[in-house]
Structure 1
């Protein structure tokens, strides 16, 4: 299940803005502009905030009230002792916001002034991806608002011309298709790609907000462009403040005909019904009990030498069904690539270069969506 857990974390980072649990405020801490999200819990007031110039979250933990003030402790770095961390003392203001003081362990004090953000009064965004955030995730929208995308080179891939776009602060980049598809198809595909670019920028800031020495490095590789599929790897090496750094691929696999993201079950069939809900235990059972054994049987037939193992301690055991339960996948000129996912100590065995189901096999076992050339 480690591969599934890693894929789930990547998906959470790259596809889902952090759910807003509280009320969003904007204002100042000292002379610095900040945005805060505060929520009343059983323990008191808690939440998070960021300085507009940095855009990185600093968590706020509820602490015992003092003299009628709500007290919140900053937790920017888990390695810092609680007594050494700054804290906030807030009281309700007449405008529905908060006023108070920021104090550090050395006795320094700065004024805090916050007022609630009226999301409906924020200017409408011309960018559809940012407009969706403005309507639904005000805190995340205010983090990204003001950032601009710049052109970052173009390239020709067969009949398709790509324009790369980059967000300079994070360095996150992704492409758009500017020629090769009909206009309606191009618009449909680019809406998805543009939204994905902004979600990756958001993931960058979410990750680096983990406290301490966060890292988030990403490489995008285009694998296949044709009328049936747009397929690219989005490989990320990241450390978000947890126990260990990690890496993984969260690929883009789009059906240009619909603009819909493709699931593995859409394009390949084992001959047995696959549950559609990826949050259901039945789907997890299908992947481990039906899909993985089926794929291992295919690879043992196609790549008998690579699938052999002598049982050595440092050997990559590609016959282990568990490593194929939740593969990353993308389309290539040769067929459907599927990447193995090993436990942490054997991560060097991940994603072998040979694990491709040829198009001839995909045609024999295609799913409801035909992507074979």
Structure 2
């Protein structure tokens, strides 16, 4: 899922790159509280030259708009296909905006907006994001979680929670885990839940309203002992673009400390391994290319005996391509070993295949800093 999120955010960053004016506003349509961001990316002579996103405080779901800016007048529409569902006509008066909102059923209401004071929306949970998205800071303030049910995994209680504004169930550790386990791990699980909720609320397209179900999440437990909890999250989503997409992300969390391990915390094929991908990206790439991909491939190929396809077309399922497929894999920590799925582009998703590497074959490559046995 992490790769899906990064692709989704990359789209948003590319979109934002071309803007030359950015406005964040809050106010009302009649008596309904809304938040509106406007991105002006072209001159007054261009049509359209403006994109926008807004959401209601009572729903938090993004609604996409496009339109024009002419002098200090903005015309923004919600258009699905050939149908215009909503229209804002806003005039800038000083730093504020006033105007009207109309819908396809003929309703019309006054709109009053002013710049957002983001000091009112500070949060200690901003580290759940991959980028600093200002609208997400606002949404954090209004999230509401509710316990729905309790299930059991290996006789351990698992409490499942929902969020009021969308369909994103997720779990916390239940009452027969130790108090320390719950204190350390549930804080991490809450951040994962918030991240997925925000992703869902942001999942808007130009063709349909965001119903809070544009992304489905399925969580399965893969490992549990006295020290470690392993699980995976499968996501199926469509947030605009040419095609829907899917992905899986594996997690391994230390029950004693709450640490969320990455694969390089667990396996080290060379002493040059780095777990600081963001701050030491060049070293991470070098390690992946020189050590991680070749060694992982060799271990799996010893059983699979991959053969390079005779068809040299770029869309062929070539498992022998170390530079592309094996350096950016999905991994899942299970009871029998670690599952690895080499990554393929969306158009070649059918090529993806999962390979289980038993712990016995990985023990000699255990990262010395990983304090638990591979079993």
The DSSP-based 3-state class of the residue aligned with 1:237 is: strand
User: For residues 142 and 152 of structure 2, what CA distance do their matches in structure 1 show?
Assistant: 31
Structure 1 CA distance for aligned equivalents of residues 75 and 27 of structure 2:
17
Deviations along 1:133-180, one digit per CA (max 9) or x if unpaired, are 9xx866324435444323232222225321111225422111111245
CA contact (8 A) 2:330 2:341 kept: yes
**2:91 and 2:9 mapped to 1: Cα distance?**
36
Q: Calculate the TM-score normalised by the size of structure 1.
A: 0.77
Q: Does 1:203 align with 2:203?
A: no
2:60 to 55, 59, 62: 55
Cα pair 1:267 1:370 within 8 Å, conserved: no
Secondary structure, counterpart of 2:241 in structure 1: coil
Superposition pairs for residues 342-357 of structure 1, below 5 Å?
A: 342-352=344-354, 355-357=355-357
Q: Check conservation: 1:342, 1:349, Cα contact below 8 A.
A: yes
Assess, with a 3 A threshold, how the Cα gap between structure 1 residues 230 and 76 changes in structure 2: closer, same or farther.
farther
Seen in structure 2, the aligned counterparts of structure 1 residues 200 and 132 have a Cα distance that, compared at 3 Å, is closer
Q: Which one of the candidate residues 199, 205, 212 is aligned to 2:207?
A: 212
1:119 to partner: Cα distance? 4.6
Q: What's the C-alpha RMSD, in Å, of the aligned pairs?
A: 4.0
Q: 1:161 maps to what in 2?
A: 157
2-structure distance, mates of 1:116, 1:76: 25
SS at match of 2:246: strand
1:82-97 → structure 2 map (5 Å cutoff): 86-92=87-93, 96-97=95-96
Question: In the aligned structure 2, how far is the partner of 1:10 from the partner of 1:84?
Answer: 26
Contact 1:27–1:114 (CA under 8 A) maintained in structure 2: yes
CA offsets, 1:186-238, max 9 Å, x none? 2111001012111111111111x132247311101111122442221111011
CA offsets, 1:267-312, max 9 Å, x none? 00112412444242442343234211111101122x236x456657
Alignment of 1:145-184 (within 5 A): 145-158=141-154, 160-179=156-175, 181-184=177-180
Distance across 2 between alignment mates of 1:104 and 1:278: 47
Structure 2 partner of 1:249: 248
**Segment drifting more, 289-298 vs 236-245:** 289-298
Does residue 300 of structure 2 align to residue 299 of structure 1? yes
1:112–1:310: structure 2 CA closer, same or farther, 3 Å change rule? closer
**Stretch of structure 1 that moved more, 105-114 or 356-365:** 105-114
Q: Deviations over 1:297-347 (max 9, x none)?
A: 01122x236x45665799854444232211111211111111222233432
Report what 2:136 is aligned to: 140
In the alignment, what sits opposite 1:221?
Answer: 220
Rounded to whole Å, the distance in 2 between the matches of 1:42 and 1:316 is 42
Of stretches 46-55 and 34-43 in structure 1, the one that deviates more from structure 2 is: 34-43
1:8 to 6, 9, 18: 6
The aligned counterpart of 2:341 is 339
Q: Per-residue deviation at 1:74? A: 3.6
- Specify the SS of the correspondent of 1:362: helix
Aligned twin of 2:26 = 26
Question: Could you list the runs of 5+ residues in structure 2 that have no partner in the other structure?
Answer: 45-49
Whether the 8 Å contact between 1:60 and 1:72 is mirrored in structure 2 is no
Paired residue secondary structure (1:48) = strand
Paired residues in the alignment total 350
Rounded Cα–Cα distance in structure 1 between residues aligned with 2:101 and 2:151: 50
Matches within 5 A, 1:261-280: 261-279=260-278, 280=281
In structure 2, distance between residues paired with 1:80 and 1:252 = 43
2:47 match = none
Q: Distance in 2 between matches of 1:295 and 1:130?
A: 35
Partner of 1:190: 186
Q: Is the 8 A contact 1:4 1:326 kept in 2?
A: no
Unpaired stretches in structure 1, ≥5 consecutive residues: none
Q: Which has the higher contact order (CA 8 A, sep 6+)?
A: 1
